[in-house]
A = this chain, B = another copy of it.
Amino acid sequence: MGERDWISRYFKPLATGPGADALRDDVTKLSVAGGPLIATVDALVESVHFFPDDPIETVARKLVRSNVSDVLAKGARPLEALLVLGWPNNRPETELARFAAALGEELAKWGARLVGGDTTSSPQGLFLSLTLTGQCGPEGPIRRSGAKAGDELWVTGEVGAACLGYRALREGRLDDSHITAYREPALAPLEITGLLRNCATGSMDVSDGLLGDARMLAEASGLSVTVDLTAVPFADEVADLEERLALASWGDDYQVLFSAPESASRQIIDYARERSFQVTCIGTFAAGSGLTAIENGAVVNLPETLGFEHG
Protein backbone atom coordinates (compact mmCIF):
# COMPACT_ATOMS: atom_id res chain seq x y z
CA MET A 1 0.00 0.00 0.00
CA GLY A 2 1.30 3.45 -0.90
CA GLU A 3 1.90 6.37 1.40
CA ARG A 4 -1.12 8.27 0.18
CA ASP A 5 -3.45 5.34 0.78
CA TRP A 6 -2.11 4.88 4.31
CA ILE A 7 -2.70 8.50 5.08
CA SER A 8 -6.22 8.64 3.78
CA ARG A 9 -7.26 5.34 5.31
CA TYR A 10 -5.78 5.60 8.77
CA PHE A 11 -4.80 9.17 9.56
CA LYS A 12 -7.33 11.38 7.77
CA PRO A 13 -10.10 10.28 10.14
CA LEU A 14 -7.96 11.58 13.04
CA ALA A 15 -7.24 14.96 11.48
CA THR A 16 -10.34 16.81 12.57
CA GLY A 17 -8.62 20.09 13.46
CA PRO A 18 -9.77 23.11 11.44
CA GLY A 19 -6.23 23.97 10.26
CA ALA A 20 -5.43 20.46 9.09
CA ASP A 21 -7.65 20.79 6.01
CA ALA A 22 -8.23 17.01 6.23
CA LEU A 23 -4.51 16.45 5.50
CA ARG A 24 -5.10 17.46 1.88
CA ASP A 25 -2.22 19.89 2.16
CA ASP A 26 1.41 19.42 3.18
CA VAL A 27 1.08 22.00 5.94
CA THR A 28 -1.32 22.70 8.76
CA LYS A 29 -2.44 26.06 10.04
CA LEU A 30 -1.65 25.98 13.75
CA SER A 31 -4.21 27.03 16.33
CA VAL A 32 -2.82 30.01 18.21
CA ALA A 33 -5.83 31.37 20.08
CA GLY A 34 -5.30 32.14 23.77
CA GLY A 35 -1.97 32.28 25.59
CA PRO A 36 1.55 31.62 24.35
CA LEU A 37 2.13 28.49 22.28
CA ILE A 38 4.89 25.97 22.97
CA ALA A 39 6.14 23.02 20.92
CA THR A 40 8.10 19.90 21.73
CA VAL A 41 9.21 16.87 19.75
CA ASP A 42 10.12 13.40 20.99
CA ALA A 43 11.13 10.36 18.98
CA LEU A 44 10.72 6.65 19.73
CA VAL A 45 12.95 4.08 18.07
CA GLU A 46 12.41 0.32 18.01
CA SER A 47 14.96 -1.52 20.17
CA VAL A 48 15.99 1.79 21.77
CA HIS A 49 12.79 3.09 23.36
CA PHE A 50 10.54 0.07 23.01
CA PHE A 51 10.84 -3.67 22.36
CA PRO A 52 10.15 -4.99 18.85
CA ASP A 53 7.30 -7.13 20.16
CA ASP A 54 5.67 -4.52 22.41
CA PRO A 55 2.00 -4.26 21.43
CA ILE A 56 1.69 -1.51 18.82
CA GLU A 57 -1.03 0.21 20.86
CA THR A 58 1.40 0.75 23.74
CA VAL A 59 3.96 2.20 21.31
CA ALA A 60 1.34 4.71 20.15
CA ARG A 61 0.44 5.64 23.73
CA LYS A 62 4.08 5.95 24.78
CA LEU A 63 4.74 8.23 21.80
CA VAL A 64 1.89 10.53 22.75
CA ARG A 65 2.63 10.46 26.47
CA SER A 66 6.36 11.16 26.16
CA ASN A 67 5.38 14.41 24.42
CA VAL A 68 2.33 15.22 26.55
CA SER A 69 4.59 14.85 29.58
CA ASP A 70 6.81 17.71 28.34
CA VAL A 71 3.81 19.93 27.68
CA LEU A 72 2.07 19.26 31.01
CA ALA A 73 5.30 19.99 32.90
CA LYS A 74 5.26 23.50 31.42
CA GLY A 75 1.74 24.12 32.74
CA ALA A 76 0.37 23.89 29.19
CA ARG A 77 -2.50 21.92 27.62
CA PRO A 78 -1.74 19.64 24.65
CA LEU A 79 -3.18 21.06 21.46
CA GLU A 80 -2.02 19.83 18.03
CA ALA A 81 0.27 17.05 16.86
CA LEU A 82 2.31 16.25 13.74
CA LEU A 83 3.36 12.63 13.31
CA VAL A 84 6.41 11.15 11.60
CA LEU A 85 6.07 7.45 10.96
CA GLY A 86 8.90 5.30 9.56
CA TRP A 87 7.17 2.00 8.95
CA PRO A 88 9.14 -1.17 8.10
CA ASN A 89 7.81 -3.26 5.24
CA ASN A 90 7.62 -6.36 7.41
CA ARG A 91 5.05 -4.88 9.79
CA PRO A 92 1.55 -5.75 8.53
CA GLU A 93 -1.11 -3.20 7.64
CA THR A 94 -3.36 -4.51 10.42
CA GLU A 95 -0.77 -3.27 12.90
CA LEU A 96 -0.79 0.14 11.26
CA ALA A 97 -4.56 0.29 11.65
CA ARG A 98 -4.25 -0.59 15.33
CA PHE A 99 -1.50 1.99 15.77
CA ALA A 100 -3.59 4.76 14.21
CA ALA A 101 -6.64 3.90 16.30
CA ALA A 102 -4.64 3.93 19.54
CA LEU A 103 -2.89 7.16 18.55
CA GLY A 104 -6.20 8.90 17.88
CA GLU A 105 -7.71 7.72 21.17
CA GLU A 106 -4.69 8.74 23.18
CA LEU A 107 -4.47 12.20 21.61
CA ALA A 108 -8.19 12.73 22.23
CA LYS A 109 -7.75 11.72 25.87
CA TRP A 110 -5.39 14.69 26.30
CA GLY A 111 -7.53 17.07 24.27
CA ALA A 112 -5.06 17.07 21.37
CA ARG A 113 -5.60 16.54 17.65
CA LEU A 114 -3.52 15.21 14.79
CA VAL A 115 -3.03 17.99 12.23
CA GLY A 116 -0.26 16.76 9.94
CA GLY A 117 2.74 14.55 9.45
CA ASP A 118 4.89 12.50 7.14
CA THR A 119 4.95 8.76 6.55
CA THR A 120 7.82 6.87 4.98
CA SER A 121 9.10 3.36 4.74
CA SER A 122 11.93 2.30 7.04
CA PRO A 123 14.59 -0.13 5.81
CA GLN A 124 14.92 -1.59 9.30
CA GLY A 125 12.89 -1.09 12.45
CA LEU A 126 10.02 1.20 13.32
CA PHE A 127 10.72 4.79 14.24
CA LEU A 128 8.28 7.50 15.15
CA SER A 129 8.28 11.06 16.29
CA LEU A 130 5.58 13.42 17.38
CA THR A 131 5.68 17.20 17.41
CA LEU A 132 3.16 18.49 19.92
CA THR A 133 2.05 22.06 20.54
CA GLY A 134 0.68 23.23 23.87
CA GLN A 135 -1.34 26.19 25.02
CA CYS A 136 0.25 27.92 28.01
CA GLY A 137 -1.32 30.10 30.63
CA PRO A 138 -0.98 33.85 30.01
CA GLU A 139 2.40 33.92 31.78
CA GLY A 140 3.89 31.44 29.29
CA PRO A 141 5.67 28.12 29.89
CA ILE A 142 6.94 27.32 33.37
CA ARG A 143 10.68 27.06 32.78
CA ARG A 144 13.29 25.01 34.57
CA SER A 145 15.02 28.15 35.66
CA GLY A 146 12.47 29.63 38.08
CA ALA A 147 13.18 27.77 41.35
CA LYS A 148 14.04 29.99 44.35
CA ALA A 149 16.23 29.25 47.36
CA GLY A 150 13.98 27.80 50.05
CA ASP A 151 11.55 26.27 47.52
CA GLU A 152 10.51 22.67 47.97
CA LEU A 153 10.98 19.97 45.32
CA TRP A 154 7.91 17.93 44.39
CA VAL A 155 7.31 14.93 42.16
CA THR A 156 4.06 13.45 40.86
CA GLY A 157 3.27 9.73 40.79
CA GLU A 158 5.83 7.01 41.46
CA VAL A 159 9.50 6.72 40.64
CA GLY A 160 11.23 3.69 39.09
CA ALA A 161 8.25 1.78 37.76
CA ALA A 162 9.46 2.07 34.16
CA CYS A 163 12.89 0.75 35.14
CA LEU A 164 11.37 -2.26 36.88
CA GLY A 165 9.14 -2.91 33.89
CA TYR A 166 12.04 -2.66 31.47
CA ARG A 167 14.06 -5.17 33.46
CA ALA A 168 11.13 -7.57 33.64
CA LEU A 169 10.68 -7.42 29.86
CA ARG A 170 14.37 -7.90 29.20
CA GLU A 171 14.41 -10.91 31.51
CA GLY A 172 11.22 -12.39 30.10
CA ARG A 173 9.16 -12.01 33.30
CA LEU A 174 6.04 -11.17 31.35
CA ASP A 175 3.66 -11.24 34.32
CA ASP A 176 5.49 -8.43 36.14
CA SER A 177 3.07 -5.69 37.10
CA HIS A 178 5.50 -2.89 36.18
CA ILE A 179 5.67 -3.75 32.48
CA THR A 180 2.76 -1.43 31.73
CA ALA A 181 4.61 1.48 33.34
CA TYR A 182 7.53 0.94 30.95
CA ARG A 183 5.38 0.49 27.88
CA GLU A 184 2.91 3.27 28.53
CA PRO A 185 3.92 5.49 31.42
CA ALA A 186 1.16 6.74 33.74
CA LEU A 187 1.32 10.52 33.55
CA ALA A 188 -0.02 13.08 35.95
CA PRO A 189 -3.55 14.06 34.89
CA LEU A 190 -4.31 17.07 32.70
CA GLU A 191 -5.36 18.96 35.85
CA ILE A 192 -1.71 19.14 36.93
CA THR A 193 -1.48 22.20 34.69
CA GLY A 194 -3.78 24.14 37.02
CA LEU A 195 -1.62 23.28 39.99
CA LEU A 196 1.61 24.18 38.23
CA ARG A 197 0.27 27.50 36.96
CA ASN A 198 -0.77 28.44 40.48
CA CYS A 199 2.15 27.15 42.52
CA ALA A 200 5.23 26.06 40.55
CA THR A 201 8.26 28.32 40.20
CA GLY A 202 10.20 25.83 38.05
CA SER A 203 9.14 22.59 36.38
CA MET A 204 10.24 19.79 34.07
CA ASP A 205 9.32 16.19 33.40
CA VAL A 206 11.36 13.29 34.74
CA SER A 207 12.53 11.63 31.57
CA ASP A 208 16.22 11.08 32.26
CA GLY A 209 16.15 9.93 35.88
CA LEU A 210 14.90 11.65 39.02
CA LEU A 211 18.27 12.60 40.53
CA GLY A 212 19.88 13.88 37.35
CA ASP A 213 16.74 15.81 36.47
CA ALA A 214 16.57 17.35 39.96
CA ARG A 215 20.14 18.47 39.48
CA MET A 216 19.24 19.99 36.11
CA LEU A 217 16.34 21.90 37.63
CA ALA A 218 18.66 23.28 40.32
CA GLU A 219 21.38 24.11 37.81
CA ALA A 220 18.98 25.93 35.49
CA SER A 221 17.83 27.97 38.50
CA GLY A 222 21.37 28.65 39.76
CA LEU A 223 20.78 26.74 42.99
CA SER A 224 21.69 23.58 44.87
CA VAL A 225 19.13 20.90 45.65
CA THR A 226 18.89 18.24 48.34
CA VAL A 227 16.77 15.16 47.61
CA ASP A 228 15.54 13.07 50.54
CA LEU A 229 15.57 9.47 49.30
CA THR A 230 13.49 8.45 52.32
CA ALA A 231 10.66 10.58 50.95
CA VAL A 232 10.87 9.49 47.30
CA PRO A 233 7.75 7.50 46.32
CA PHE A 234 9.42 4.45 44.80
CA ALA A 235 7.22 2.14 42.76
CA ASP A 236 8.36 -0.82 44.85
CA GLU A 237 9.63 -1.24 48.37
CA VAL A 238 13.35 -1.41 47.89
CA ALA A 239 15.56 -2.17 50.87
CA ASP A 240 18.87 -1.77 49.08
CA LEU A 241 20.33 1.75 48.75
CA GLU A 242 22.16 0.95 45.52
CA GLU A 243 18.91 -0.23 44.01
CA ARG A 244 17.06 2.89 45.15
CA LEU A 245 19.75 4.99 43.51
CA ALA A 246 19.43 2.95 40.34
CA LEU A 247 15.67 3.50 40.21
CA ALA A 248 16.17 7.21 40.85
CA SER A 249 18.66 7.40 37.97
CA TRP A 250 16.66 5.64 35.28
CA GLY A 251 14.61 7.43 32.67
CA ASP A 252 11.12 7.06 31.30
CA ASP A 253 9.17 7.83 34.46
CA TYR A 254 7.54 10.84 32.75
CA GLN A 255 6.41 12.35 36.04
CA VAL A 256 6.43 16.07 36.73
CA LEU A 257 9.24 17.44 38.88
CA PHE A 258 8.62 20.96 40.13
CA SER A 259 9.67 23.56 42.65
CA ALA A 260 7.23 25.56 44.75
CA PRO A 261 7.45 27.90 47.74
CA GLU A 262 6.93 26.27 51.14
CA SER A 263 3.84 28.43 51.59
CA ALA A 264 2.13 26.52 48.74
CA SER A 265 2.58 23.15 50.40
CA ARG A 266 -0.95 22.85 51.81
CA GLN A 267 -2.51 23.96 48.52
CA ILE A 268 -0.50 21.40 46.54
CA ILE A 269 -1.48 18.52 48.80
CA ASP A 270 -5.17 19.48 48.82
CA TYR A 271 -5.31 20.05 45.06
CA ALA A 272 -3.84 16.63 44.34
CA ARG A 273 -6.00 14.85 46.92
CA GLU A 274 -9.21 16.35 45.50
CA ARG A 275 -8.25 15.09 42.05
CA SER A 276 -6.91 11.73 43.26
CA PHE A 277 -3.38 12.00 41.99
CA GLN A 278 -0.17 11.49 43.87
CA VAL A 279 2.29 14.28 44.59
CA THR A 280 5.17 14.10 47.07
CA CYS A 281 7.59 16.62 48.53
CA ILE A 282 11.05 15.09 48.17
CA GLY A 283 13.56 17.89 48.68
CA THR A 284 14.53 21.51 49.02
CA PHE A 285 16.48 24.11 47.05
CA ALA A 286 19.15 26.34 48.55
CA ALA A 287 21.85 28.77 47.46
CA GLY A 288 24.94 27.17 45.92
CA SER A 289 25.14 24.45 43.31
CA GLY A 290 25.05 20.69 42.92
CA LEU A 291 22.93 17.81 44.13
CA THR A 292 22.95 16.19 47.56
CA ALA A 293 20.99 13.04 48.36
CA ILE A 294 20.20 12.21 51.96
CA GLU A 295 18.62 9.23 53.63
CA ASN A 296 17.35 9.27 57.18
CA GLY A 297 19.21 12.54 57.58
CA ALA A 298 22.60 11.23 56.42
CA VAL A 299 24.31 12.22 53.18
CA VAL A 300 24.52 9.44 50.61
CA ASN A 301 27.41 8.82 48.20
CA LEU A 302 26.15 9.25 44.67
CA PRO A 303 27.29 7.28 41.64
CA GLU A 304 29.01 9.27 38.92
CA THR A 305 26.30 8.76 36.35
CA LEU A 306 22.90 9.99 37.41
CA GLY A 307 21.05 10.72 34.24
CA PHE A 308 19.73 8.06 31.99
CA GLU A 309 20.47 8.34 28.31
CA HIS A 310 19.00 6.14 25.65
CA GLY A 311 21.65 4.56 23.49
How many angstroms between the C-alpha atoms of A83 and B43 in the bound complex? 10
Is B127's CB under 8 angstroms from A122's CB?
A: yes
A95 shortest CB reach to chain B, Å: 16
Q: Number of A residues contacting the other chain (C-beta, 8 Å)?
A: 65
Is B40's CB under 8 angstroms from A26's CB?
A: yes
**Is A121 interfacial (CB-CB < 8 Å)?**
yes
CB < 8 Å neighbour of A70 from B26, B43, B307, B311: B26
Q: Which of A133-162 contact B (CB under 8 A)?
A: 133-134, 136, 140-141, 143-145
Given A3-B310, A120-B43, A123-B125; A28-B38 close (CB under 8 Å): yes
| Contact residues of A: prevailing secondary structure | mixed
Is A116's CB under 8 angstroms from B40's CB?
A: yes
**Is A98 interfacial (CB-CB < 8 Å)?**
no
Contact segment of A29-37, A171-179, A274-282, A283-291: A29-37
Residues of B within 8 A of A30 (CB): 30, 36-39, 133
Is B39's CB under 8 angstroms from A82's CB?
A: yes
**Is A227 interfacial (CB-CB < 8 Å)?**
no
CB < 8 Å neighbour of A24 from B127, B144, B307: B144
Nearest neighbor of A311 in chain B, beta-carbon distance? B121
A151 shortest CB reach to chain B, Å: 18
Cross-chain pairs A/B with CB under 8 angstroms, 20 sampled = A3-B309, A25-B141, A26-B40, A27-B70, A29-B37, A29-B136, A30-B36, A32-B32, A32-B36, A39-B116, A40-B82, A43-B129, A48-B123, A84-B84, A84-B129, A118-B129, A120-B310, A120-B311, A124-B124, A124-B125
**A residues near B, CB below 8 A?**
2-4, 19, 21, 24-30, 32, 36-43, 45-49, 70-71, 73-74, 76, 82-84, 86, 89, 115-118, 120-125, 127, 129, 131, 133-134, 136, 140-141, 143-145, 204-205, 207, 220, 307, 309-311
Nearest neighbor of A47 in chain B, beta-carbon distance? B123
How many angstroms between the C-alpha atoms of A19 and B205 in the bound complex? 18
Residues of B within 8 A of A117 (CB): 41
Is B40's CB under 8 angstroms from A122's CB?
A: no
Given A26-B70, A309-B2; A41-B141 close (CB under 8 Å): no
How many angstroms between the C-alpha atoms of A70 and B116 in the bound complex? 12
Nearest neighbor of A205 in chain B, beta-carbon distance? B26
**A29, A71, A83 — most chain B CB neighbours (10 Å):** A29
